[in-house]
Amino acid sequence: MTILVDADACPVIRLTEKIAKAHGLPVILLCDTNHVLMSEYSSVKVIGAGPDAVDIALINLCRRGDIVVTQDYGVAAMALGKGARAIHQSGRWYTDDNIDRLLMERHMAQRARRSTKHHLKGPGKRTEQDDRNFTESFERLIQTAVQSDQAE
């Protein structure tokens, strides 16, 4: 099991690394040339700039049983399709039960943005509670994945 992080502007990179390290799991951070990262723990893959370049590279690396950390619903859907697990930076798990609804909500929000001059409000500033929520949820996801792997 590998942890793959869609690392462009991802606020939970260090939390992800800390938890993965505690479990002895490898982490790969993927970023484009505009967000070059350094890490003492993770492997860093810098992908050429371009629309969806990081997303495509991440999905190409993704394997059954991996965990993907992303805020992109499309990436999450493709990861689920490959038999991986996926988690949002908020700690919400992407599942086969919720991904269609999330993709539809994204589509509707895109339509609303195109049809009006008003911009929809983005997410608020990240808080310590947000970090705690992610940490607790990510721990549970890893435990669930490990138990599932042992059962197979």
Asked whether residue 6 carries a pLDDT value surpassing 70, the answer given is yes
Question: pLDDT tens digits, residue range 103-149?
Answer: 777 667 767 667 766 666 666 789 999 999 999 999 999 999 998 87
pLDDT of residue 150: 77
Question: pLDDT tens digits, residue range 67-87?
Answer: 999 999 899 999 999 999 999
How far apart CA 131 and CA 95 sit, in angstroms, is 21
In this structure, are residues 52 and 44 in contact, taking their beta carbons and an 8 Å threshold? no
- Please provide the average confidence, as pLDDT, over all residues in the chain: 89
How far apart CA 75 and CA 79 sit, in angstroms, is 6
Torsion of CA 17, 18, 21, 26, to 10 degrees: -10
DSSP 81: H
Q: Among all chains, which residue has been given the structure tokens 């800390």?
A: 18
The listed CATH number (1.10.540, 2.40.30, 3.30.2030, 3.40.50) that belongs to domain 3-151: 3.40.50
Query: H/E element holding 54?
Result: helix 53-61
Extract the tokens encoding 43. Answer: 């492997």
Kindly report which listed range (24-33, 60-69, 86-95, 113-122) carries the lowest average pLDDT score: 113-122
So where are the chain's domains? 3-151
pTM of this structure? 0.87
